[in-house]
Amino acid sequence: MPRISCCPPLLNLGIFGGLGEYKAEFFVMFVLNVLTEYLSQVARALNKIKLIAGISIISSTIMGGAAAVFIAVLDWGVQGYWGSLIIGYGFSVFCYLFPGKIYLQIQLHLRDSGQLFIISKKMLRYCLPLVPDALLWWMSTSINRFFITGMLGVAATGLFAAAGKIPNILAAAYGLFSRAWQLSAYQEYGSKEAAHFFGTVFKSLNAVLTVCISALIILSPMLASILFQRQFYSAWTLAPLLLVAVYFSQLSSFYSTVYAASMRTSLIMKTTVVGAILCAGLTWLLIPKLGLQGASLALTVSNATVFGVRVIMARTIMKIPIDSFFFTIGALLLSIQAVSASFQVRGNTYLSLCIFFIIAVLAFIALRSDMKILLQRIRLPKK
């Protein structure tokens, strides 16, 4: 933690857009945010799932209420924004430590330094590859914005960022599933039926994702009228391809759990490197020809490639059975629907409705036989 104190001066750099004026606020918020995330992981390890959910809901409410009071009522501006974040994260840290009684897990002395060294070595071997992976994953999903700014201008970057609001709806929903899935994955890994269980979850996840994404593509114009400001409404045409990019990103995230459960996190980093390089190269090549749609297409192709590489490499760890027919048909139909909507092909609305109907029927068939199994196997701990 002391090393973080060396980072705030970097905020004076121009690329951070004047964030250097709020170095102290940023530092306090960052430390509290890190502690909140760390303590939530400890609570998850202790099976205190209800505690995590409760603190998340209450802290978000406090954060939003504080922001409304500080910014709208007291007119504190940016200072009020930072203050709301600090209060929200500070509340989370306090609740995890004391009402959640996680402070009882803190030990300030070393009982067995040798055993501690062995455990620390295993933990570092597991988590160190995830640090550059997180950076590279951010690059692969955000580096296109640097190309957009440099090649098309700041206004185009604003359109691209606005278009991302629609895929973010699905990403937020997947985050809820991901937390429950990770717990089940770690518990099931190593069992005799692990491969079949992972395959069942993947098939169900893929079915739900294809239906949701197909529906969101159809609803993109309407959602844009609600979420976007008037001058950004035209950005909705970027959303369909970005939704398909999120589709492959979330399937890739599913497979990253396989590597994490097997303690082979270095493979996650390797696959992310492939995606980051491919995204940068394709973005540079496609923007001059297709504009913002080129950036969306580059992200989609790179995420699809990462998913494909992870599927292939995962076979050395676990042979997960995949419903190749439904996955291939679903991915192909989503791609056709996204391209026709993004490039405004004549009759794309009717085509999208037909594709949605086909995908919904196929998803129902795929889910019908496995839903009972999933409801029995994936469940939150009672505690």
pLDDT of residue 136: 63
Model confidence band, residue 173 (pLDDT cutoffs 50, 70, 90) = confident
Q: Angle 182-134-47 (CA atoms, 0-180°, nearest 5)?
A: 25
pLDDT tens for 100-111 read 888 888 765 555
Length of the chain, in residues: 383
Q: Tell me the residue type at 77.
A: G
Tell me the pLDDT tens digit for each residue of 41-87.
888 778 787 888 788 889 888 988 998 898 888 888 888 888 999 99
pLDDT band at 374 (very low <50, low <70, confident <90, very high): low
Contacts of 352 (CB under 8 A, 6+ apart): 214, 217, 218, 337, 340, 341
Confidence (pLDDT) at 1? 46
Q: What whole-number distance in Å separates Cα of residue 215 and Cα of residue 363?
A: 13
- 8 pLDDT exceeds 60? no
Q: What number is the average pLDDT over the span 153-169? A: 82
**Contact residues for 324 (Cβ-Cβ < 8 A; gap 6+):** none
- Who's near 223: CB < 8 A, 6+ residues apart? 166, 169, 216, 236, 239
Separation in Å, CA 277 to CA 140, 237, 253, 282, 287:
7, 26, 18, 9, 16
User: DSSP characters for 8-66?
Assistant: GGGGGSGGGTTGGGGHHHHHHHHHHHHHHHHHHHHHHHTT-HHHHHHHHHHHHHHHHHH
Residue 226: how many CB atoms within 10 A of its CB? Answer: 8
Higher local confidence (pLDDT), 26 or 114: 26
What number is the average pLDDT over the span 114-133? 73
Q: How far apart are CA 47 and CA 65, in angstroms?
A: 29
> How far is Cα 81 from Cα 63, in angstroms, rounded to an integer?
9
Mean pLDDT of 131-144: 66
Q: For residue 170, which of 225, 212, 112, 110 has the smallest C-alpha distance?
A: 212
pLDDT above 90 for 262 = no
pLDDT in tens, 284-303: 999 999 888 998 999 999 99
Flag whether pLDDT at 331 surpasses 80. Answer: yes
Helix, strand, coil tally for the chain in percent (to 5): 85, 0, 15
Specify whether the CB–CB gap between 39 and 93 falls below 8 A: yes
Residue 168 has pLDDT above 60, yes or no: yes
- Mean predicted confidence (pLDDT) in 354-363: 92
Q: What is residue 270's predicted lDDT score, i.e. its pLDDT?
A: 84
Query: Of 176-185, 249-258, 369-378, which has the strongest mean pLDDT?
Result: 249-258
User: Lowest-confidence range among 5-14, 273-282, 295-304?
Assistant: 5-14
pLDDT at 251 over 50: yes
Using one digit for the tens of pLDDT, what is the confidence trace for 174-189? Answer: 877 777 777 778 778 8
Q: What percent of the chain has pLDDT over 90?
A: 22
- Whether 13 has a pLDDT exceeding 60, the answer reads no
pTM of the prediction? 0.75
Q: Is pLDDT of 218 > 90?
A: yes
Mean pLDDT across 230-248 = 89
Range from 53-57, 330-334, 361-365 that averages highest in pLDDT: 330-334
Find the angle CA(334)-CA(335)-CA(339) to the nearest 5 degrees.
115
The sign of the dihedral angle between the CA atoms of 117, 121, 122, 126 is: positive
Stretch 241-252: mean pLDDT, rounded?
A: 92
Distance from chain centroid for Cα 36: 18
Burial of residue 159 (CB within 10 Å: 0-12, 13-18, 19+) is buried
User: Which band of pLDDT confidence, cut at 50, 70 and 90, is reported for residue 315?
Assistant: confident
Model pLDDT, residue 22: 74
Q: Which residues, at least 6 apart from 340, have a Cβ–Cβ distance to it below 8 Å? A: 348, 351, 352
